Structures are given as structure tokens and as C-alpha cells.
Amino acid sequence: MQQKSLAVSGFEKYRKQTRKEIFLEEMNQLIPWKVLTAVIEPHYPNPRGAGRRPVGMERMPDATTRCKFRHLLEENKLGVALFDAVAVYLEENGMKVSKGTIVDATIINAPTVTKNKSNTRDPDRHQTKQGKQWYFGMKAHIGVDSKTKLIHCVVATPAHVHDSQVMEDRLHGEETRLWGDSAYAGQQSVLKDNDPKVKDYTQVKGSRHRKLTEQDKAKNRHKSKVRAKVEHVFHIM
């Protein structure tokens, strides 16, 4: 009689899960695979016919396959479609956007090398200086729900575009409150055009000619408690 393994004998359930298994289990619980694949499937290579069968959409084992997949998303503008599909999925599962929005932006650094046929840099990327450090790449401008920290709006620009230049593109139109750092000071006209009832809680900005008062500093600290939630989002990104 063949001896049974420990797994078959029932000891498998007592085995400690590996980090990889825990990660994959969490991914299956968090990501709506059916919703996302339904958006991409009409544009994905058809497995029928002659020739090498394409790699399954849910599993991409090599860098070349993933690179081609990114190009497929770009060519068919599926990034926006996926973003909208996830937003609908979250709302259907009780994650709704509230009346408060936090706006902020972060630089997405990229290599400055020019490995293309024209030997030129990507025109969608640009260099910018932050503090004493120079960066090259793009910038992600986001609008985040002040309660759930859900990203409800996102805009990508070259890195040198100022944070305040795409303010209106990060508002969903039903806000009553807005938080932002001092880079967004002086954008009241944009808020009024979007919705005159929005209360502006952006950081008060000081200058050489107008120093911040103690009251201004206290208000800024209070606003930062809400505004700091956007940093959690950037940390995950």
C-alpha cells in the first residue's frame, strides 16, 4: 500500500501560509478580476486560429508580454475605461464618494535615456526642480475622497506642469469642501466656476511681504490633519 503524504493526510490545513500565498489571496479578495477582464477582452488577441497562442490575460510571466500589454492599454485608451469600471464596482459595493475632495500631485520619475528610433526623449515627459533636486518624468494629479481616500479623478501631465494648472479636472462637481496644500492657493475662481458653494480649505500661503500669523499657522495645522490622507495614497502608488 502506497504511503499517503502529509498533505493528503489532512496536515496541509495546519501548514503556515507563505508570503506569496497570503499576497495572492489578498489580491483575489480585493481585485474584481471579472470586471477588469471584461473591459480588456474585446481588444485582447484572440486565442483561436493558427500560430502561437497568446498568454492568458490574467497571467503574464515575462517582461515582453507585459510590455506589449501596456501598449495595448495605451493604444485602446483602456486606462480610463478600467478606472471608470473600478469606480462603478466600488460604488456598487458601498464605497461612495463623499462631498469632500483633497487635491495633490506627485512626480513620477523616469530614466532620461533616449532608447527610441528618433533618439529623442518622450515629449510627454519633462524635467522639473523640486527643492534642490531635479527630476525627469511625469506628474500624477489626483482628486481623493476626504473620507474613504478613494481616487475619483486623475490627470497625467509632464512633470513641469504646476499642481494648480489642472485643478478643475480633479473635481467631481458635487464637492462642498476642498483641501489642498499652499500650491493651490488663489484658485477660488476655479472653485466658483465649478460650484460656488464649495468651501476652500487649502493651506494659507505666506510670502516675504505677508508673514503667516499664529492664527494662520493654527488653521494650516488643522487642515493638514485631513490633507495628510492623500499621502497614504501616494505611499501605495
Query: What are the Cα distances from residue 225, in Å, to 102, 146, 196, 235?
Result: 11, 11, 25, 16
More confident residue, 146 or 116: 146
Strands (E), the chain: 100-109, 126-130, 133-145, 151-158, 177-180, 199-202
CB under 8 Å, gap of 24 or more: what pairs does 82-89 form? 82/36, 82/39, 82/40, 83/154, 85/32, 85/35, 85/36, 85/38, 85/39, 86/32, 86/35, 86/36, 87/150, 87/152, 89/32, 89/35
179 in Cβ contact with 202 (< 8 Å): yes
Write down the pLDDT at residue 160.
93
Write down the pLDDT at residue 161.
93
Average pLDDT of span 110-135: 79
| Banded pLDDT at 144 (limits 50, 70, 90) | very high
Residue 3 has pLDDT above 70, yes or no: no
Domain extents in the chain: 19-44+62-95
More confident residue, 4 or 59: 59
Give the three cell numbers for residue 199.
Answer: 468651501
What would the pLDDT profile of 168-219 be if each residue is shown by its tens digit?
Answer: 888 888 888 999 998 888 777 777 777 777 888 989 888 888 889 999 999 9
What would the pLDDT profile of 61-113 be if each residue is shown by its tens digit?
Answer: 777 888 888 889 989 999 889 988 988 888 888 888 888 999 999 999 887 77
- Greatest CA separation for the chain: 91
Write down the pLDDT at residue 115.
64
